[in-house]
Chains A and B, each alone.
Chain A
Amino acid sequence: MSSSSTPEPPASDATRVALQEVEEAEAILEQQPPQAERALGEAAARGGGGWVTAVLAAPGFLWIGFYLIAPLVVIILVSFWTRTDTGFSKVWTTANYGDLFHDSTYWHNMLTTFETSLIAVAACLVLGFPVAYFLALKVKSLRMQVALFIIALAPFWTSFLTRALAWTFPLMGTEGALNKSLQQLHVTSGPVSEFSYSLLSVRAAMVQLYILFMITPLFFSLSQVDRAALEAARDLGGNWWRTFREVILPQTMPGIVIGSIFIFVLTMGDYGTVATVGGGNITSVGTLIYSKTTAIEYPQGAASAILLVILLMIGVWVITRFSNLREEL
């Protein structure tokens, strides 16, 4: 950057003039933006007019502050308060956490939910990658790409609950389509009861419901893969696997990481899917916390939620170790 760090060359007139010009140019570059541009509102915050930015940002952040940050703070507070019959009183205690640590049901649920999450992340990655790869690198026309992408993305905007419901009787039930067709094909002799209201169906449904959160970031990072590098890899004799591992995968890592974070957080915190597809037979941390709040055990519910959030943060931290997002994006 700066010319001062390099040793001064022998001072011929030409070099001196050149260096002077460079210094002048740098001086100009370091200056504030010109007045005309400031008048246009560009980079206004650097000078005056920062209040306009503040006014524009204020409504959104006030809303987030009241409906997101404050509630999260209250969860933390309540988790340290004492339970009463009508809710909680502001008597500080750590008993809520102490009880939780000895609550084997809670940890059993946590473990099952964690396992479900890991399976969901892995399944979404393995099943979703070819879809994103196809859309991003094999479909040539942009219009086609956008159209197919939206068709794949459309169910995301429809009700999770309804789609979860569709998993219960019509598809996975004892009389559901899956059991019927398996019997038709003579794969099974009778209905497989494991399909309905089971951990298996909850996990399968989760993959189907959340996979788009993996495909979307994958699609966007795959479509930014440098095609020239792909051509170069092939020209240099790299086979498909080496090209994939050494060219595509490193460039797709941010997408994989973001997708995994999404799936992990969403499945760990899921309530609706487990309640609907599991039909009350299956519990998760989410359903456990929900049942605690309906039983007016708010402090216990809050403490369970805080522990979940801490585990979520650890999980997200571990996932981000695979890629330096800030650097690569």
Chain B
Amino acid sequence: MTAVAPTMERAQDAVVTRKVKQRRDWAKWGLATYFVIFLFFLYIPIILMAILSFQGPTGQLTWPFRGPVTLDWWKTLFDSNVINTVADDVRASGEQSLWLSLVAGGIVAVLGFSLSMAFRRRWRFKSDVVAFYVIMLALMTPAFLVGLGNQLLWKFMGQTPDLWKTALGANVIWGIPFSFLVMLAVWNRYDRHIEEAARDLGANAATTFREVTLPLVWTGVFGSFLFGFTLTWNDFDRTILLQNGYQAQPLPILIGTWPSSHPILPNLYALGAGTTAVSLFLIFMVLVAVTLRLRFRGAPVRRAAEEFGDTAGLTGAGGLTARAK
């Protein structure tokens, strides 16, 4: 971390050190307090929503909290025999969302991995940068523009937009840059001499890839999959324009169009809190994956940016330009 001057007997050094320390601590605690307030600000809406989903039978959408703490509203999501049930819709949408997100995650992981492999092979610099910005375009294009564009394209081709053919494609577009950046970060920290060693020992390209490369980067690929999964699991802006009325709606669409299709009751909050819980669970999976990778790593890392390879942080062409120099 920071280079602290070695403690020597000279009096002036001691004075300087103490001064710096005092100033730093004060700022640190101030900022820490602010950070806690910030987290509160970040999480409070969803926490309030979750609390309201545990109301009793007379529960409503607003405060105060009514009735005993029950799971009644959660039950309406799963049990089709209770009053106010929405179980059928939720099950259909949940399954649709789950399959869609799984497939999107898989495609995102494969495409991002293969794109990052192409970049690893050091293209000529110029096309490198153009290709990089094309991938970043996928990140920068507003969501509903992608939705509108795809809708018009399919209309132009004389086809009806389809959840699996259109919405899936648009969602994968959103996931590709994330997966690509994650994989670039992984490759930045990857020691390719290991591959050379494997080849020197007589392994062919396929064996090297399967037994050396993949085991070392699988956490990145898995992270890409989770990115693709969660982004699709939560997407509204793209999908709303690209679905048709004949297929079961994914969960976000069900939630988003709830006011026009269902009575608004606290089970909407339960549904929102539930889908959020699934997402949060997946992030902790990512956290575990990252921790596993930390353990594999050899040399100690001093800054988080190094750990993320400075590209995963959406800081743009960082890794790329550094390498090109």
**Which residues of A are at the interface with B, using a C-beta cutoff of 8 A?**
40-46, 52-54, 56-57, 59-61, 63-64, 66-72, 74-75, 77-78, 87-88, 127, 130-131, 133-136, 138, 140, 142-143, 145-155, 157-163, 165-167, 169-171, 173-177, 180, 208, 211, 213, 216-217, 219-221, 223-224, 227-228, 230-231, 234, 240, 254-255, 258, 261-262, 265-266, 268-272, 275-276, 286, 289-290, 293, 298, 301-302, 305, 308-309, 312, 325-326, 329
Contacts and interface: CB of A to CB of B under 8 A. Distances in A.
B142 interface: yes
7 contacts: A56-B114, A78-B156, A130-B31, A158-B280, A176-B63, A272-B143, A329-B317
B11 interface: no
A262 B139 CA distance: 9
Contacts of A262: 140, 314
A252 B156 CA distance: 45
Nearest to A138: B28
B196 A290 contact: no
B131 A61 contact: yes
By Cβ-Cβ distance, the 8 closest A-B pairs, closest first, are: A269-B142, A71-B149, A220-B313, A175-B62, A166-B45, A57-B118, A56-B118, A134-B31
Given A159-B255, A223-B304, A266-B142, A42 B48 contact: no
B28 A157 contact: no
A157 B230 contact: yes
Interface in B284-325: 286-287, 290, 294, 301-305, 307-308, 310, 313-318, 321-322
Given A135-B35, A152-B42, A171-B45, 15 more contacts: A42-B122, A68-B141, A71-B153, A130-B38, A149-B304, A158-B280, A159-B255, A162-B255, A170-B45, A170-B63, A220-B310, A231-B3, A254-B316, A265-B140, A269-B142
A147 B284 CA distance: 10
Contact of A75 (B131, B148, B279, B313): B148
Nearest to B319: A329
Contacts of B114: 56-57, 59-60
A21 B49 CA distance: 74
A287 to B, nearest CB: 9
Given A64-B173, A142-B304, A224-B303, A160 B152 contact: no
A161 B255 contact: yes
Contact of A68 (B39, B137, B302, B310): B137
Given A63-B176, A150-B287, A169-B62, A160 B308 contact: no
B322 A329 contact: yes
B121 A56 contact: yes
Contacts of A87: 155
A88 B322 CA distance: 47
Given A159-B276, A265-B142, A152 B303 contact: no
A32 B49 CA distance: 62
Contact of A60 (B112, B124, B256, B287): B112
B314 A258 contact: yes
Contacts of B152: 71, 74-75, 78, 298, 302
Nearest to B124: A45
Contact of B304 (A46, A61, A136, A170): A136
Contacts of A289: 144, 148
Contacts of B85: none
Contacts of B280: 154, 157-158
B94 interface: no
A316 B121 CA distance: 31
B2 interface: yes
Contact of B151 (A68, A166, A270, A293): A293
A325 B322 CA distance: 12
A266 to B, nearest CB: 7
Given A64-B134, A138-B27, A138-B28, A41 B146 contact: no
Nearest to A180: B63
B84 interface: no
Contacts of A147: 287
Given A64-B138, A67-B170, A286-B142, A53 B2 contact: no
A136 B1 CA distance: 12
B267 interface: no
A56 B211 CA distance: 19
A293 B45 contact: no
B95 interface: no
Interface string B161-186: 00000000110110010001000000
A211 B192 CA distance: 37
Contacts of B282: 157
Nearest to A76: B149
A277 B47 CA distance: 17
Contacts of A228: 3
B60 to A, nearest CB: 8
Contacts of A140: 1
A227 B1 contact: yes
B208 to A, nearest CB: 9
Interface in B38-67: 38-39, 41-46, 48-49, 52, 61-64
Contact of B256 (A152, A155, A272): A272
B34 interface: yes
A161 to B, nearest CB: 4
Contacts of B155: 87-88, 298
B131 A57 contact: yes
Interface in B216-248: 230-231, 233-234, 236-237, 241
B283 A269 contact: no
Given A59-B114, A161-B234, A166-B272, A70 B153 contact: yes
